[in-house]
Structure 1
Amino acid sequence: MIATLISDFGNKDNAVAIAKGLILKSNPELRLIDLTHEVAPYDLLQCSYLLNSAFRNFPERTVHISMFDIMHQNPSRILFALLENQVIISADNGMFTFTFPHSDIKIWEYRDSESANYIEWLRKASQLIHEMHAANFHFEMLDASICTPEVQTTPLRAKVKENQLDCHVIHIDRFGNVVLNITREDFEACRNGRRFSIRIPRNIPVTQLSRNYNDVIPGERLCLFNSAGYLEIAIREGSAAQLLGLELFKKDQLIYNIIPIEFS
């Protein structure tokens, strides 16, 4: 069985190793794969994007363990769901309603799941995985009940205007490529065949879609839809985030995080 891990733990200390040790104690045959542990602390938007864009690429019945913001509530609960034949486990921190707002999924709570710290939460989550495997992923056989998450969150969507989309940065990868919160489907629906212009403050607008990074010469800006289907701003062989002054969305700096896409 495969399990993936995503968290905001970072890699500077032993928190990730401790988590893996706790999980493997109950599931020694489990294959653990790291999605990332570099989610910005408490950044639900970035964690949601990284998890949502990755989980469908794994074999059926892979277990995806979100260790992001485990102690959002104290005590913390263990929630889990089956989505597209993939199992997702998370604390009750808004992850499910934020990431899958329109999905018709049942969310379950593990028995006696309330935990006073992240170590206790991981021990219980590890036992849940063990029991899931033994029950062949029939949730009805587990000591769990269907529930509604206490923490309800609304996805941060691009704001649609008559001739404009107001977007936000949801992820910056290690190359400085900037991902916006707009999918190809939503972009094309708003575009409706019109020309577009991505307005980056103090920079010349981007007005064409590229198929890949090699469509432009080194140092030139471009935009394309990445493998996850989201619009990405990049500079070939350069950091768009650094050179264009783009940063991750922050609630307290809303005005400075808006990237408008104008249609004409």
Structure 2
Amino acid sequence: MALVTFMSDFGTEDHYVAAVKAVAHKMGPETHIIDISHEIYPSDIGHASYVLKSVFRDFPTGTVHLCAIDMNSREPSKLVAVQLEEHYFVGYDSGLFSLLSDQPPTAMVELSTNDLNGSTFLAKDLLAPAAVALANGQKISELGKPLDVLKTLYARQLKVTKREISGNIIRVDHYGNLITNIVHSAFETIMKLNGEKPYEVCFGRERSRKIHSAYHEVESGEYFILFNSNQQLQIGINKGNASELLGLHLDAPVIINFQL
């Protein structure tokens, strides 16, 4: 049996997470469920995509990811199952799955809601059973009718020239670290084109000519800049909250200027 991960915006104060897990274990007593997060901001697809994209490839291929986050919209979303990069995803057609990979899905189906009798808890009544079915080896094609296209959202794109990499803060994490969409591969490419010439990282009122390799390279209360484990440029303050102390938040620009 494959693993099932579970991510939602349910929080942990109510019974919702337990109710979904109860159904999953009732249908598949040996189902092994790993929680990714239940503290996704309500209906925040950007937050959900960042968290899921950061971790889903760490799980074995064949893992089923149950994603109970929908957009705050008047129009109800379809419920879908998607096969992508040899993983399975079950959730709302909210645009979330379009933000996870540059690769196209290898299979997509729309889950049937005909037998739900007006359910108001679709994560429990439909998504959990679908996830368990996939984990038990049922073919994705047997879960619903084929789907030609998913809802598509577009993430902020880097602007890259020989002189500049222009990005944005895409996530402020639990510690107040500022995570950007500037990736190490883009930085390395421009550095090689420029012959390893000096550069300057600009954010808010700050300017830095150094990218660090570890947090502890700076003293307590000082900021650091490094490429994190996901190879994204991250700005933080050693033993402090960078977002609060630097006054920078989601979407704020971060620019690397190269001297030619």
Give deviations 1:101-150, integer Å, cap 9, x for gaps. Answer: x203224124414776651243212221232234x25334x143332345
Task: Tell me the equivalent position of 2:158.
Answer: 158
Contact 1:45 1:156 in 2 (8 A): no
CA displacement at 1:16 relative to structure 2: 2.4
CA distance in 2, matches of 1:107, 1:14: 33
Structure 2 length as normaliser, TM-score? 0.85
What does residue range 125-144 of structure 1 map to in structure 2 within 5 Å? 125-134=127-136, 136=137, 138-140=139-141, 142-144=142-144
CA displacement at 1:45 relative to structure 2: 2.1
User: Residues 132 and 240 of structure 1: is their aligned pair in 2 closer, same or farther, counting only changes over 3 Å?
Assistant: same
Contact 2:64 2:135 in 1 (8 A): no
Moved more, 91-100 or 36-45: 36-45
- The residue identity in structure 2 corresponding to 1:235 is I
% identical aligned pairs: 27
CA displacement at 1:10 relative to structure 2: 2.5
Give the CA RMSD over aligned residues.
Answer: 2.5
Task: Tell me the equivalent position of 1:182.
Answer: 182
CA distance in 2, matches of 1:71, 1:157: 24
Moved more, 85-94 or 115-124: 115-124
Give deviations 1:163-186, integer Å, cap 9, x for gaps. Answer: 222222222222221110122112
CA distance in 2, matches of 1:73, 1:59: 36
Kindly report structure 1 stretches of 4+ aligned residues shifted beyond 6 Å: none
Task: Tell me the equivalent position of 1:253.
Answer: none
- The residue identity in structure 2 corresponding to 1:99 is L
Task: Tell me the equivalent position of 1:260.
Answer: 255
Task: Tell me the equivalent position of 1:198.
Answer: 201
**Count of residue correspondences:** 253
Give deviations 1:64-100, integer Å, cap 9, x for gaps. Answer: 1111226656433222222333212221011122222
Task: Tell me the equivalent position of 1:94.
Answer: 95
Moved more, 83-92 or 113-122: 113-122
Task: Tell me the equivalent position of 2:68.
Answer: 67
CA displacement at 1:244 relative to structure 2: 0.8
User: Residues 242 and 89 of structure 1: is their aligned pair in 2 closer, same or farther, counting only changes over 3 Å?
Assistant: same
Give deviations 1:206-233, integer Å, cap 9, x for gaps. Answer: 2212111122222221111111121111
User: Residues 160 and 41 of structure 1: is their aligned pair in 2 closer, same or farther, counting only changes over 3 Å?
Assistant: farther
CA distance in 1, matches of 2:201, 2:232: 14
Task: Tell me the equivalent position of 1:11.
Answer: 12
Contact 2:81 2:108 in 1 (8 A): yes
Task: Tell me the equivalent position of 1:252.
Answer: none
Contact 1:71 1:118 in 2 (8 A): no
- The residue identity in structure 2 corresponding to 1:183 is V
Q: Does 1:235 align with 2:230?
A: no
Mark the runs of 5 or more structure 1 residues left unpaired by the alignment.
Answer: 250-256
Contact 1:178 1:233 in 2 (8 A): yes
The alignment partner of 1:39 has SS state of: coil
Q: Does 1:214 align with 2:237?
A: no
Task: Tell me the equivalent position of 1:108.
Answer: 108
User: Residues 34 and 259 of structure 1: is their aligned pair in 2 closer, same or farther, counting only changes over 3 Å?
Assistant: same
The alignment partner of 1:53 has SS state of: helix
CA distance in 2, matches of 1:113, 1:262: 52
Mark the runs of 5 or more structure 2 residues left unpaired by the alignment.
Answer: none
CA distance in 1, matches of 2:197, 2:139: 48
Contact 2:20 2:128 in 1 (8 A): no
